[in-house]
Amino acid sequence: MRVTAENLVSSINQLNKNRYYNYINSSTKGLIQIVRVNLPEGPIIIKRWDSSIGQSPATAKEESISSQLIWRVANAFQEDMPINIDRVLGASYNTRSVFESLLAHTPNFHVTYPGRIETIKSYSTIKSGHKHLVWLPDQPHEMGTINIIKTERIISEIPSQHAIYESLTVKDDFATISEHSLDIKIQRRHAQIQVALVQIGLQLGFRTWVAQNDKSIIYNKKRLAEIEGVIPSLNDEKLIMAHPDAVNAALLIDCIWFKNGRLMPAVMEIECTTGITSGLSRMKNFQDKFPPFPTRYTIVAADEDRPKFLKEASKEQFNTLKPMFFPFSAVEELYSLCQRRKIRGVSEEFLDSFMEYVN
């Protein structure tokens, strides 16, 4: 299970707005009030003040906990995995401690202090831990209270993983078919995810077809079509070459992974806007032109687009696809893993731990 911004905002919206809330750390002076909650994904408007220095609810200004902050925190949570909010957000967002405290007052989030491993030169010692939140949806506590869980866990505070992209240039003729109106930031994001999928495929022993109209992307001083592992022509791909209608239907699909001339681990459409239906329709058209074959028909999209995916993918017209959702955060998690560890020899079922089937 994954947490979404909608989940977090909904939880905080259930807190009593006619009372004040303390910070998690009792040494932090001040109180918090929820002014209003904008559903489904924020922002959340709050007031905070410290009466010891003469402040009051009447004089406190309204401040915003942004949707961007909420999504960054939501993407970090996994069930029963302690999260340090300060590490997730760094020095960004001056309302991060307020948001953390409000979350801790909701039933599914608990406070814990795991030990931490401190390594200096070659010597490691266990130190007292920093404050973490842990999401335990099956162990709720009372609404409006903070529950502290004792733990024997120890955290090794290695640097957080990063997905690193080389220089990338989107030419004027990129996405000339259906996404021509997209602004350059969206085009670049689409291209970055496409590159990540190519590199993941290469690491897992796949060859990747990239949409015909995207081959002019320049990545690390090479056209995308020239990058190792990218298929130059579908007409030469053994698995599909005997089915010209399928070849034509596949030309504009963002990414297709092939393996050993016999397997097709995934067919993927990258959606950076609300075009999830168009991506599903493009894959359905390909499926209709190709003999029945086991693969993963996958929408690759921003984490916050999951509700849109679930709504569209559950429509009867897409039943035969059995669509999967591959969120950007999971793409970059896998891409980072490939960059850092050069993983080899895993089965293609390994992908299923990063993707989600529609229910």
- 337 pLDDT more than 90: no
By residue count, the chain amounts to 359
Inside any domain, residue 295: yes
Q: Are 270 and 194 in contact (CB under 8 A)?
A: yes
Report residue 207: phi and psi, to 5°: -105, 145
Q: Write down the pLDDT at residue 157.
A: 64
The helix/strand/coil state of 224 is: helix
Q: Are residues 339 and 273 in the same domain?
A: yes
Determine which helix (DSSP H) or strand (DSSP E) holds 158, and give its type and residue range: none
Percent of the chain with pLDDT over 70: 92
Q: Are residues 172 and 145 in the same domain?
A: no
pTM of the complete model: 0.71
- 178 pLDDT more than 70: no
Q: Write down the pLDDT at residue 71.
A: 92
Q: Is the C-alpha dihedral spanning 187, 190, 191, 192 positive or negative?
A: positive
Inside any domain, residue 79: yes
Over residues 95-105, mean pLDDT: 96
Q: Write down the pLDDT at residue 156.
A: 74
Q: Are residues 266 and 174 in the same domain?
A: yes
Q: Are residues 11 and 68 in the same domain?
A: yes
The helix/strand/coil state of 50 is: coil
Going by C-alpha positions, the residue among 236, 172, 184 that lies closest to residue 209 is: 236
Inside any domain, residue 160: no
Q: Which residue has the higher pLDDT, 322 or 329?
A: 322
Q: Are residues 140 and 220 in the same domain?
A: no
Q: Write down the pLDDT at residue 159.
A: 58
- 175 pLDDT more than 50: no
pLDDT digits (tens, 9 = 90+) for 18-64: 999 999 988 888 999 999 999 999 999 999 999 999 999 999 999 99
Q: Are residues 190 and 86 in the same domain?
A: no
Q: Write down the pLDDT at residue 17.
A: 96
Inside any domain, residue 156: no
Q: Write down the pLDDT at residue 338.
A: 85
Q: Are residues 143 and 211 in the same domain?
A: no
Inside any domain, residue 53: yes
Q: Are residues 193 and 246 in the same domain?
A: yes
Inside any domain, residue 127: no
Inside any domain, residue 124: no
Q: Are residues 145 and 289 in the same domain?
A: no
Q: Are residues 227 and 313 in the same domain?
A: yes
What DSSP string describes 39-81?
TTT--EEEEEE-GGGT--TTTPPPEEE-HHHHHHHHHH-BTT-
The helix/strand/coil state of 152 is: coil
Range of the domain at 190: 168-357
- 219 pLDDT more than 50: yes
Q: Are residues 180 and 212 in the same domain?
A: yes
> Average model confidence (pLDDT) for the chain?
88
Percent of the chain with pLDDT over 90: 59
Cα 152 from Cα 169, distance rounded (Å): 48
Q: Are residues 185 and 294 in the same domain?
A: yes
Token pair of 264 as six digits:
């097709």
Q: Are 112 and 160 in contact (CB under 8 A)?
A: no
Classify strands 44-49 and 31-37 as parallel, antiparallel or unpaired: antiparallel
Among 11-20, 46-55, 165-174, 258-267, the least confident range: 165-174
Over residues 95-108, mean pLDDT: 97
pLDDT digits (tens, 9 = 90+) for 122-136: 666 777 888 999 999
The total number of structural domains in the chain stands at 2
Q: Write down the pLDDT at residue 177.
A: 39
pLDDT digits (tens, 9 = 90+) for 229-256: 999 999 989 999 999 999 999 999 999 9
Token pair of 239 as six digits:
């698995």
Inside any domain, residue 122: no
Cα 34 from Cα 325, distance rounded (Å): 34
